[in-house]
Structures are given as structure tokens and as C-alpha cells.
Amino acid sequence: MTRYKLLLISSAVVLAVLACALPGDERSAVEEAAPAGSGEVLAPTYTPPSVSSEGGEKNYRTDNILFQDDFSDPNSGWDRQSYDVGSTDYGEDGYLISVTAPNQILWANPGQAFKDVSVEVETLWLDGGEDNNLGIICRYQDVENFYALVISSDGYYGIRRALNGSDGLEFIGNNGMQESDVINMNGRNQLRADCIGSTLSLYANGELLMQVEDDVLAYGDVGLIAGTFSAESTDILFKNFVVYLP
């Protein structure tokens, strides 16, 4: 398996390789058994509260921002790299992940460290095939350990996990990606990933798509991810990335 390692960040915790690439896999789930305690599909359990004050309604989301980036500054900390299979870089009006070969995955991280987070980003399909996946990373510890909460441009969704050097990203909670009419195909989608305690929740356009229980990874960086399955290429633009304290 090919991995591209760019820059290691050292701190009190292992933060991130700022951008990496992995060969993709089929849309079906990896056939290895997941560790005990993972993969249980749950009902919704978390909604950010509405907080009131004497001065009127308080915007809970705005007042609990841990990190944000509109990608207008190309020096804000995300990588700018080119590979044989694509690139990760600041684009016009956002951050662009471009994948130029089938069955490949690229991602990037800003070099942060969090435990419980709620992450939102606007995604826009620009070009390429529909058989792809794109979304949000949380609890990124290194190239071999992180979660990815993703959708596809043809209307599917899933939650994936890299764990201890396993070959590729396995799906947890469902047997591969599931279809939803909530997702805008080949268009713009507002994604949200909640990684709170052992509960991972994926939303698209304000609607909960799935929620699973997995307690293997407890902290790490956040990030963005895009890749191809059978599609020959895909170009995904990300805008207005925000990390909230849940």
C-alpha cells in the first residue's frame, strides 16, 4: 500500500501527517471483524442546546468555536502538495482536494488536537466521477489511526475507520455505504461530524444520516478527505471549516 507522508508535527500528543494518500477500496465494507464495541447503529443522542441570556438568545455554535478556517489565507496551516494521484491545496474560494486516479484517497489536516468536537464544512463537487467519497476527519492520531465521516456525489454515506495499520479504511456501523435522498448529488452539501465520547454522528444538510458507537480512538486532529472508488477522478471544494465545542 502506498502512503505519502509529508510533515510530522510533534507535541504533547501525536497530531498529524498534514496530508496523506492511501489506495482506496471497494464501496463494500472491509471483511475483517471490527473490535468489540464498534459498529452499533444508534438513535440520535446529541443536539447542541439553545442557550439564553438576559441580553437575548445566545448563538451557541458561534460562542463555542474551537477552530475555524475559510481558506482565504493560503498560509493558515493546511498543506499544499501534489502527488502522482492528485493534489491537496488552497483553491479559489476554498480548499481543493483533487484525485486523479481510481481507488485512491487523499486527505489533509490543520495540525490541531481535540477530544470531543462537532465539525462542520460546506462541500462542493466540481468535476469528475460520482463514485467517490468525501467528508470530515476526526480523532486523527497518525496515518494509520483516524475516523472519516463521508458522503459520495451519487448520494451515499458511511463512517470509516483506519486502525493500527489496517490496509485501507474499513466501514463501521453499516455494511458499506448506504443511500440517502438527503444528499444533493453532484452538488453542494453541508456536512457535520460529531465525535463526542464514543458516539460518532454524520449529518448532511441538517439531517442525521447515521450514528455509531466506537470507543477505539478518543482524541486527535481534524481534517478533510476525498477519494475515488471506480471514478477515474474527482475534484471536491471545501468551504467554511468550523470546529465547535459540543
Domains of the chain with bracketed CATH: 53-244 (2.60.120.560)
pLDDT of residue 208: 98
Find the mean pLDDT for residues 169-182. 93
Find the mean pLDDT for residues 45-57. 38
Per-residue pLDDT tens for 191-220? 999 999 999 999 999 999 999 999 999 999
pLDDT of residue 85: 97
Whether 211 and 199 have beta carbons less than 8 Å apart is answered as: yes
pLDDT of residue 168: 75
In degrees, rounded to 5, the angle at the alpha carbon of residue 173 between the alpha carbons of residues 46 and 199 is 25
Cα dihedral 174/49/109/148 (nearest 10): 0
Q: Residue 220 has what DSSP assignment?
A: B
As a whole number of angstroms, the distance between CA 207 and CA 165 comes to 32
Share of the chain above pLDDT 90, in %: 70
pLDDT of residue 63: 77
Across 10-14, 92-96, 139-143, least confident range: 10-14
pLDDT of residue 12: 29
Per-residue pLDDT at 9 exceeds 70: no
Per-residue pLDDT at 44 exceeds 70: no
Whether 210 and 199 have beta carbons less than 8 Å apart is answered as: no
**Position of cell 482524541?**
219
Which residues, 6 or more positions from 15, have their beta carbon under 8 angstroms from its beta carbon? 9, 109, 111, 112, 113, 220, 221
Per-residue pLDDT at 87 exceeds 80: yes
Q: Which residue did the predictor score with more confidence, 183 or 35?
A: 183
**By three-state DSSP, how is residue 46 classified?**
coil
b/e string for 102-140 if b means 16 or more Cβ within 10 A?
bbbbbbbbbbbbbebbbbbbebbbeebbbbbbbbbbbbb
Length of the chain, in residues: 246
**Model's pTM, two decimal places?**
0.79
Q: Which residue did the predictor score with more confidence, 38 or 179?
A: 179
Per-residue pLDDT at 120 exceeds 90: yes
Q: What radius of gyration, in Å, describes the C-alpha atoms of the chain?
A: 17
pLDDT of residue 11: 29
Question: At residue 130, what is the residue type?
Answer: E
**By three-state DSSP, how is residue 62 classified?**
helix
**Position of cell 457535520?**
192
In degrees, rounded to 5, the angle at the alpha carbon of residue 187 between the alpha carbons of residues 64 and 60 is 10
pLDDT of residue 167: 62
Q: Which residue did the predictor score with more confidence, 122 or 60?
A: 122
Backbone angles phi, psi at 60, to 5 degrees: -60, -45
pLDDT of residue 22: 60
pLDDT of residue 51: 34
Q: Which residue did the predictor score with more confidence, 47 or 102?
A: 102
As a whole number of angstroms, the distance between CA 104 and CA 232 comes to 10
Per-residue pLDDT at 227 exceeds 60: yes
